[in-house]
A and B are shown apart, each in its own frame.
Chain A
Amino acid sequence: MDGRETLRLATRAIRGHKLRSALTVLGVVIGIAAVVTFVTLGASVKADVVGQIDQSAANNIYLLSGPEGGDGPPQAAGPVYTERDLENIRDIEGVDTVVPRGGVRADAVSARNGTVALGANSGSVTATTPAAFDRATFLEGERFERGQSEVVVNEQASALFEENLSVGDGISLTLAGGETANLTVVGVVNRTGTESPFQSFSQQPQFYVPTDPYYDRVVELSDGTEQRAYPQVTVVANPAEVTATKERIEAYFPDSDAAQLQRPGFEPSARTTGDIADSLEELVDRLTRFVTGLALISLLVGAIGIANIMLVSVTERTREIGIMKAVGARNRDVLVLFLAESALLGVVGALIAMPVGVVGGWAAASYADVPLTFVPEWFAIAIVVGVLVGVLAGLYPAWRAASVDPIDALRHE
């Protein structure tokens, strides 16, 4: 029997039971739409995360601490990078700038028109060096100078006060020890460029003060000397050799004070903006695979629905199968006819599922507050999956149909 005739007979059989076929298709629609929804959401989240990575941070290498063996995210796990380490790293080939960074514990910030409690968020006062600032990021003013009672704030910090802070304003910082530091605002930035590869990071209010004189975390080395040490360092590398520079820094780590000062189980970690982007993508991919896997369960239920209805159909149409065999249908013809019918249920399900899945993806992306990203190849994949689900679900029922004994079938009521 030719393909067109097979398809025509299959279509007619499906139309013969409209409600039943519609409900079976609905099962497939839910399954495939759920998969498309989560794949779309995953792609949208990934595109959003990757889009957040600041391209101007491409040359940055972030030195932090991470669990040994590289399992798990690096973090600022305590002051380990000493002044001596900074000097040595500065001498490594390919290193342009070394920017240390450390938190200054402070309870509150007061300006002439109010006081803002920093409380638990004391990390928002950051001690760093003038090199942390890119001139292009200044909305107003300029960087602070070493050893001066000066502060640079970002836009968000400036907006904490009823009357926005601007250059020339004086603020006083209540330090954790109870002392007060009086500082003059010298610059307002929209971001620093070396703090994190994520633009959204700079949306937190930040106050930047010079490490000298406000940062005083010192550590004692095994030789008894004391050194100022920072939990985190950003290295700006020569754009032509970011990865090579990172490798050279890693090669220096075994000799570094940072390695010696790590908590047990931790080691110094150097990661480029590219590394961070890769591991974030990997993370989003994993989450996407996980939720898509959950959606696949509903697709499996849809497939079972097809198999179930096809088995019912084979039983109901046993007599018709007998008739077809009596007029010359081969087992293969019967098999193909029933397979076509179940494949058709799968394909129709997939076709309906695609727009539903895209709407679902749009809704999920809106809920997750990320812009929608389409994955066009999933339209093709969904159709293939639909056919596959239909064929696989129909295999056993179709085989049952093909192996019906024509004599019994013709006797069947």
Chain B
Amino acid sequence: MPVGPLLRAVATDALTDDETDAVVSLADVSKTYELGGTVTALDAVSLSLPDGSYTAVMGPSGSGKSTLLNLVGGLDTPTSGTVEVDGKRLGDLSEPERADVRGRTVGFVFQTFNLMPRLTAAENVALPLAFQGVDPAERIDRAKQLLDSVGLGDRYDHHPPELSGGQRQRVAIARALASEPAILLADEPTGNVDTDTGEQVMGLLQEVNDEGRTILLVTHERAIAEHADRIVHVRDGEITGIEEV
């Protein structure tokens, strides 16, 4: 979708206005990799996410949308620019502090679910709490509540290989919410499930957003992106436009 210069200018103005209550803000963020030559994954991207917003980042594969998500989640560090999440500049944090951001401030949902194969559903959901030193009984209780809320009340002790794709993704969403994060980061959450199940997953994300959590969703599918309040289009490492839905 080509975006004209006018729309782009409007988008930039909107960013400036939102900065005060932004829970995530990226300023001039670039990310380059050295792979035989210099590959630019993100090129001076600025973006802010207001608290409680639901944003989809859309673009073809290789556009840099996943890199953007990983930078916000503290899994990756920018080559230049600053990433601020929930008032913390990630670039200034030590490794354990960034781990803490991943564990408490954000929650990840991945295309491939990324559950621990040897842990039960409840243990998977409780895992982020284990790294925060939450008492075992307490975290399993919390995990069971979360599994109940995503409709898996009868699957506590199942291991991931015993669950369907949709069930696994629901476990993953429950896990992402375990430590009550302010922001949920979802990377192609419907990419490995059928359309109906995908709709269920998107319904769950909508509920999460309705509870007041900020969602940043990465997808290449228009239909999925339209669940969000606004769509940020990226291509070749640059934001090419922002569209309110």
Q: Point out the residues of chain A lying under 8 angstroms from B131, CB to CB.
A: 1, 324, 327-330, 333
B133 lies within 8 A of A330 (CB):
no
A329 to chain B, nearest CB (A): 5
Q: Does A323 sit within 8 A of B, measured CB to CB?
A: yes
The interface on chain A, measured as residues whose beta carbon lies within 8 A of the other chain's beta carbons, has a size of 24
A191 interface contact, C-beta 8 A: no
Give the contacting residue for B115; candidates A323, A331, A407; CB below 8 A: A323
Closest residue of chain B to A332 (Cβ to Cβ) is B96
Given A5-B136, A12-B118, A13-B118, is A327 in contact with B75 using a C-beta cutoff of 8 Å? no
A142 within 8 A of B: no
| Bound CA span A378–B175, Å | 47
Provide the bound-state CA to CA distance between A319 and B133, in Å: 23
For residue A16, CB closer than 8 A to chain B, the reply is yes
A364 sits at the interface (CB 8 A): no
Q: Is the CB of A328 within 8 A of B75?
A: no
Stretch from B99-107, B205-213, B225-233 at the A interface: B99-107
Indicate which residue in B70, B76, B95, B108 contacts A327 across the interface (CB closer than 8 Å): B108
The main secondary structure of chain A at its interface with chain B is helix
A328 touching B114 by the CB < 8 A rule? no
* A305 at the B interface (CB under 8 A): no
* CB < 8 Å neighbour of A326 from B100, B102, B119, B132: B102
Between A1, A319, A328, the greatest number of chain B beta carbons within 10 A of the residue's beta carbon is seen for A328
How far is A330 from B99 in the complex, measured between Cα atoms in Å?
A: 5
Q: What does the 1/0 interface line of B114-158 toward A look like (CB < 8 Å)? A: 111111000000011011110010000000000000000000000
- Residue of A whose beta carbon sits closest to that of B115: A323
Judged by a CB distance under 8 angstroms, whether A4 is at the interface is yes
Q: Which of A320, A323, A329, A410 contacts B99 (CB 8 A)?
A: A329
Residues of chain B within 8 A of A179, CB atoms compared: none
Residues of B within 8 A of A333 (CB): 99, 131
Total A-B pairs, Cβ < 8 A: 69
B182 shortest CB reach to chain A, Å: 14
Question: In chain A, what residue has the closest Cβ to B94?
Answer: A330
Whether A328 touches B103, Cβ cut-off 8 Å, given contacts A1-B130, A2-B133, is: yes
A330 to B127, CA, bound (A): 13
Interface residues of A in 165-179 (CB under 8 A from B): none
Task: List the A side residues contacting B117 at CB < 8 Å.
Answer: 320
User: Given A406-B75, A407-B75, A410-B110, are A328 and B132 also a contact pair (CB < 8 Å)?
Assistant: yes
Taking the nearest CB of chain A, how far is it from the CB of B159, in angstroms? 11
| Interface range on chain B (Cβ under 8 Å from partner) | 20 to 34
Which single residue of chain A is at the shortest CB-CB distance from B108? A326
Contact of B102 among A1, A12, A328 (CB under 8 A): A328
State the Cβ distance, A326 to closest chain B Cβ, in Å: 5
Q: How far is the CA of A67 from the CA of B66 in the complex (A)?
A: 83
Residues of chain A from 298 to 330 with CB closer than 8 A to chain B in the complex: 319-320, 322-330
Contact for B116 among A320, A331, A407, CB less than 8 A: A320
Q: In the complex the two chains form, is B127's CB within 8 Å of A326's CB?
A: no
Contact of B73 among A2, A13, A326, A329 (CB under 8 A): A326
**A12, A13, A320, A323 interface centre (most CB from chain B within 10 Å):** A323
**B219 at interface by CB-CB < 8 Å:** no
Interface string of A370-390 (1 = CB under 8 A from B): 000000000000000000000
CB pair A327 B104 closer than 8 Å: no
| CB–CB A328/B116 < 8 A | no
The interface residues of chain A lying within 8 Å CB-to-CB of B132 are 328
Decide: B127 and A327 in contact? CB cutoff 8 A: yes
Q: A13-B118, A407-B76 are in contact. List 9 more A-B contacts (CB 8 A).
A: A322-B114, A324-B131, A325-B75, A325-B102, A326-B75, A327-B175, A330-B100, A331-B96, A333-B131
Could you list some 21 contacts between A and B, CB below 8 A? A1-B133, A2-B136, A4-B136, A12-B118, A319-B114, A322-B114, A323-B116, A326-B102, A326-B108, A327-B102, A327-B103, A328-B100, A328-B104, A330-B95, A330-B131, A331-B99, A333-B131, A406-B75, A407-B70, A407-B75, A410-B75
Report B's interface with A, CB cutoff 8 A.
70, 73, 75-76, 95-96, 99-100, 102-104, 108, 110, 114-119, 127-128, 130-133, 136, 175, 179
Interface residues of A (CB under 8 A from B): 1-2, 4-5, 12-13, 16, 319-320, 322-333, 406-407, 410
